[in-house]
Amino acid sequence: MRLLVHSGFFALQKVAYNHCHEGYFLTPASRLLLKDNPFGSSPFIALVLDPILTEPYNSMSTWFQNDDPSAFVTAFGETLWDKSSRESVFNRLLNASMGGDSSLIGKAVIIKCKEVFEGLNSLVDVAGGTGNTAKAIADAFPDLKCTVFDQPHVVADLQGRKNLNFLGGDMFKAVHPADAILLKRDEECVKILKNCKEALVTRNDKQGGKVIIIDMVVGDQDYDDKFTETKLLFDIEGMSCLVGKQRNEKEWANLFFSAGFSKYKINPVLGPRALIEVYP
């Protein structure tokens, strides 16, 4: 309990009815682990501690010496997404983790970045999963038409409502047109960004709209930043289990310009994540 108090998961306080005794109380961090918290992080914690996600670290030295795209492929002979499609228990855990994260991000975006969505008529959440982020945005903007665009088997049984609908497709081939495209996943980014640029709605013979990215921006000189360790740990996780990494601003800029975009704006307002607006 001393360790948990020191780590900020519990607070030690005098008991109200008896000041001679002390009790342990929940903190904001531990409240995120409650099962009945709609924005809880317990599925994510369970996911990162699952043997399927820890095993790739045992294969790192082998991976460094071969041509596999990730240590996950070295450990299991297939990608994380292929394995999740075959193992139902792991797939449910992965979806629960992504769903909880999307709910939390959706709420934070509406509170801190509401102005980013004002004036838009349509938005597509690319690889939006079960649509928790899009649902939060759709509820906050009743006149904004939101579409969750993901693989057909992901959205097949999901029901739309009011200004929210689900559409199956392949983001590596094309992206559904809209005023704004929302991205939260970092894999084969140049190809996806080029498809997003093509999908942006054309206005007055000039390509308008924007791509909105929710991701981390690693600072070259921010090692005293309280979020630095989190960003670097996500960087290692992305490297070992996916085909991705966390980028600094220069690397993000190179990515955007390589995909044909002309300018961008970074809003570091979502804790370790930033909201990035990218314009054609």
Query: Going by C-beta distance under 8 Å and a sequence separation of 6 or more, which residues neighbour residue 201?
Result: 122, 177, 178, 179, 208, 209
* Residue 136 to residue 26: CA distance in whole angstroms: 27
- Which pLDDT does position 18 carry in this prediction? 64
Q: Give the per-residue pLDDT at 66.
A: 93
- Annotated domain spans of the chain: 1-31, 101-279
Find out whether 134 and 182 touch, Cβ atoms under 8 Å: yes
All residue ranges of the chain with pLDDT < 70 are 16-19, 185-188, 201-208, 220-225
Q: Rg for the chain (alpha carbons), in Å?
A: 20
Q: Is the CB of residue 164 less than 8 Å from the CB of residue 140?
A: no
Q: What residues are paired with 97 via a beta bridge? A: none
Residue 186, pLDDT score = 59
* 264 DSSP β-pair partners: 278
Question: Which CATH architecture is the domain 101-279 placed in?
Answer: 3-Layer(aba) Sandwich (3.40)
Which of 44, 146, 151 has the alpha carbon at shortest distance from 98?
A: 44
Q: Is 211 left (phi over 0), alpha (psi -120 to 50) or beta?
A: beta
Q: What is the pLDDT of residue 78?
A: 92
Please state, in angstroms and rounded to a whole number, the distance separating the CA atoms of residues 132 and 130.
6
Q: What's the pLDDT at 243? A: 78
Report H helices in 113-223. 132-140, 152-155, 189-199
Neighbours of 76 (CB within 10 A): 16
Condensed to tens digits (0 to 9), the pLDDT of residues 69-113 reads 899 999 999 998 889 888 888 888 888 888 777 777 888 888 888
Whole-angstrom CA distances from 79 to 22, 59, 73, 145, 232 are 49, 14, 5, 33, 22
Eight-class DSSP state of 128: -
